[in-house]
Amino acid sequence: MISGKRIQNRRFSAITAILLLSFFIILSAAGCSKRTDSNSGTGTGTETNLPTADTGTEETDSDTPGSIPGNGSASESPAASSGIMKVHFIDVGQGDAILAESGGQYLLIDAGENTQGDAVCRYLRSLGVSRLDYIICTHPHSDHIGGMDTVISSFDAGIIIMPDVIETTRTFEAVLDAISAKGLTITKAAVGTSYALGSGSFRIIAPNGSGYDDINDYSVGIRLTNGSNSFLLAGDAEALSEREMLESGTSLSADVLKLGHHGSSYSSSDDFLDAVDPSYAVISVGTGNQYGHPSSEILASVSERDIQIFRTDRQGTIIFTSDGNSLTVSTVLGASSTNSSDPSTSSGPVSDSGSAPADASASDAVMAGSEPIDGNVIVHTTKTGKKYHSAGCIYLKSDIAATLDEALTRGLEPCSECSPPVKQITN
């Protein structure tokens, strides 16, 4: 007969063994799951590591994410283990074209002007793209959807998202014809709907209304996330749409903001910039464009918030790579037909003022299909400065008017803040 004391000792030994075994299992799991803090981005050239804010765990928006055919339901909350996502701001001159890729899935937002369709297709093929899982036509202006009919005709496509607005232009009708010819349908942009994209997702955040006087306010806006990294992309949305996004209560914070309407003064209001609170801003814009984009007022507003600026007219195609925790960036000058046919890569750090590395100077850019700038146009210089400016530039301490040709003869460079006229090289 076994005594009670011996039974208690055996029970104690068994419990002790179980506790020790559990401790070693937990310790081993912790060691296996330890994250290697290496950069896994694979962009062209050597990439620059970008610091991102430690935002922790996001709060999930109160509206229910939409159901995604074939993908289940997407959520914006950071995944426990995120994969790689790349966001390409393709240089299409004065226009927008953005490609996001993750886990073999692709999202294309806009495709530049009518003349840029082939260039966008070439860029997509260079990445091995054969199917676009999502296409967003932000709004029916030619500098955004002009090349989209060519893209849709050239690639298999899944979901095509557009705002609920119609334009009676040949450009818009060409896009509709291309969609119809492929037997595809249009999905109306619905605020609050989320879509899975590889290891991340994107949520529709605009437009929040209808009956806008300005087509730009119909722009489809999205917040794209991968782990704790985020991008806010809203086409040409102007102050009215920005205010509606703010009033909607949805999360707008993002590491990277594409400035609305190519850096126009009609977008990027103070309240909107404060709500997004980005570390980096991208301006998709053509060199020496006739609209004066980007606005010197907006450049000053962005710079005073210590937001680092990247510009397609200075640096060509801009590629952000996210591993879910950190961002790296690389730039490719000449990746599209808007720049030199001899592509060059650059990955050096970009200054807070948004100036490009030395080999990406705007004065060297060759812009196909754009109007040459008259050398007699008036620019503004200072007594001792090495740059010339647009009127009203925040760095214009003494204002001495000169022609563009005179400024160039003196060896002056264009200011990276106010984007003055640049004399283009024409073919």
Question: Two tokens at 148?
Answer: 């989209």
What confidence score (pLDDT) does residue 408 get?
Answer: 85
Residue 72 pLDDT > 70: no
- Higher-confidence residue: 341 or 21? 21
Mean pLDDT, range 109-130, rounded to an integer? 97
**What mean pLDDT is predicted for residues 190-205?**
98
Residue extents of the structural domains in the chain: 53-363, 372-427
Residues forming beta bridges with residue 50, ordered by sequence position = 327
Higher pLDDT, 108 or 2: 108
Identify the pLDDT of residue 10. Answer: 46
Q: What is the mean pLDDT of residues 156-184?
A: 97
What is the percentage of the chain residues whose pLDDT exceeds 90? Answer: 56
Q: Which helix (H) or strand (E) holds 345?
A: strand 344-346
- Expressed in percent and rounded to 5, the helix, strand and coil fractions of the chain are 25, 25, 50
Residue 63 has pLDDT above 60, yes or no: no
Backbone angles phi, psi at 186, to 5 degrees: -100, 130
Query: 223 and 76 in contact (C-beta within 8 Å)?
Result: yes
Residue 391: its pLDDT value, please?
80
- pLDDT tens-place string over residues 235-287: 999 999 999 999 999 999 999 999 989 998 899 999 999 999 999 999 999 99
Q: Are 303 and 417 in contact (CB under 8 A)?
A: yes
What is the Cα–Cα distance from 38 to 329, expressed in whole angstroms? 15
Of 51 and 120, which is predicted with more confidence?
120
**Separation CA 218–CA 221 (nearest Å):** 9
Q: What is the model's pLDDT at position 6? A: 42
Provide the 3-class DSSP secondary structure of residue 21: helix
Over residues 396-419, the mean pLDDT reads 78
Q: Note the pLDDT of residue 48.
A: 57
Q: How many CA atoms lie within 13 A of 106 on its CB side?
A: 17
CA distance 375 to 378: 8
Counting residues of the chain whose pLDDT is more than 70, the rounded percentage is: 68
Q: How many CB atoms lie within 10 A of CB 96?
A: 27
pLDDT in tens, 303-335: 999 999 999 999 999 999 999 999 999 999 864
Q: How confident is the model at residue 68 (pLDDT cuts 50, 70, 90)?
A: very low
Average pLDDT over residues 171-178: 98
Mean pLDDT on 225-241: 97
pLDDT of residue 419: 72
Once rounded to an integer, what is the mean pLDDT over residues 123-128?
97
How far are the Cα atoms of 65, 75, 250 from residue 62, in angstroms, in the given order? Answer: 9, 11, 8
Cβ-Cβ contacts under 8 Å for 122 (sequence gap 6 or more): 336, 337
For 386-400, the pLDDT digits (tens) are 778 888 776 666 788
Range in 46-55, 69-78, 191-200, 288-297 the model is least confident about: 69-78
Most confident of 51-60, 284-293, 370-379: 284-293
Q: What is the CATH number of domain 53-363?
A: 3.60.15.10
- Where do the DSSP E strands lie in 278-334? 280-283, 308-311, 317-322, 327-333
The distance in angstroms from the start CA to the end CA of the chain is 104
Rounded CA separation 270/208 (Å): 19
DSSP 208-238: -----SSGGGG--EEEEEETTEEEEE-TT--
Cα–Cα–Cα angle for 392, 338, 357, nearest 5°?
60
C-alpha–C-alpha distance, residues 192 and 178, integer Å? 28
DSSP string, 154-206: HSEEEEEEE-S----SHHHHHHHHHHHHTT--EEEP-TT-EEEETTEEEEEEE
* Higher-confidence position of 69 and 86: 86
pLDDT at 201 over 60: yes
Average pLDDT, integer, range 164-187: 97
What's the pTM?
A: 0.66
Kindly indicate the confidence band of residue 51, based on its pLDDT and cuts at 50, 70 and 90: low
pLDDT for the residue 410: 84
